[in-house]
Amino acid sequence: MIEKEERQLPILRGELALLIVILINSLGVVLMLMSGSGISAISSVPYAFSLVLPRLTLGTWTYIFQGSLILSLMILRKKFVPNYLFSFVVGFAFSMMLDVYEMHLTDLPMTIPYRVFYFAAGYLLITIGIALSNRCGLPIVPTDLFPRELSAIKNWKYANVKVSFDLICLAVTGLLTGVFLGHIRGLGIGTIAAAFTMGKVIGKIGEWMDHHVRFVSFMTKKNSVK
Of residues 34, 37, 152, 29, the one with CA closest to residue 96:
29
118 near 31, Cβ under 8 Å? yes
Helix (H, G, I), strand (E, B) or coil at 214: strand
Q: How far is it, in rounded angstroms, from Cα 40 to Cα 119? A: 10
Q: Identify the CA nearest to 46 among candidates 34, 21, 29, 31.
A: 29
Task: Decide: 59 and 66 in contact? Cβ < 8 Å.
Answer: no
Contacts of 138 (CB under 8 A, 6+ apart): 14, 15, 17, 18, 86, 90, 217, 219
Q: What is the band of 224 on the pLDDT scale with cuts at 50, 70, 90? A: very low
Task: Dump pLDDT digits (tens) for 171-210.
Answer: 999 999 999 999 999 888 888 888 888 888 999 999 999 9
- In this structure, which amino acid lies at residue 25? N
Interatomic CA distance for residues 22 and 91, integer angstroms? 8
pTM (2 decimals)?
A: 0.81
Query: Average per-residue pLDDT in the chain?
Result: 88
The radius of gyration of the chain's CA atoms, rounded to the nearest angstrom, is 18
How confident is the model over 121-137, as a mean pLDDT? 93
Report the interhelical angle of 189-212 vs 41-52 (nearest 10°). Answer: 140
For the cut 50, the answer to whether the pLDDT of residue 22 exceeds it is yes
Q: Are 21 and 133 in contact (CB under 8 A)?
A: yes
